[in-house]
Amino acid sequence: LNPFPSNLGEVLKSFETVIIPELNMGQLALLIRAKFLVDAVSYSKIQGKPFKVTELVKKIKEHL
């Protein structure tokens, strides 16, 4: 992920809401917020299991 794509800031800012699902403590969301000044929503899961589709759909619907 480093370096980030050169147009990532433009892409992120073109969305009203940016949700970043991560299977850790949210390190990527912190980097995105700091580097691109985007109010990214971190959705972290640290149980050692992958996200279920229903979990992601629920989180997305919360932010619509």
pLDDT in tens, 36-55: 999 999 999 999 899 999 99
Beta bridge partners of 42: 20
Whether the CB-CB separation of 24 and 49 falls below 8 Å is answered with no
Strands 19-22 and 41-44, sheet pairing: parallel
3-state secondary structure at position 27:
helix
Confidence at 11, pLDDT banded by 50, 70, 90: very high
Domain ranges for the chain? 8-62
Query: What is the pLDDT at residue 1?
Result: 67
Distances (CA, A) of 13 to 10, 36, 52: 5, 8, 27
Indicate if the pLDDT at residue 2 is higher than 80.
no
Q: What is the DSSP letter of 25?
A: S
Task: Kindly report the pTM of this predicted structure.
Answer: 0.84
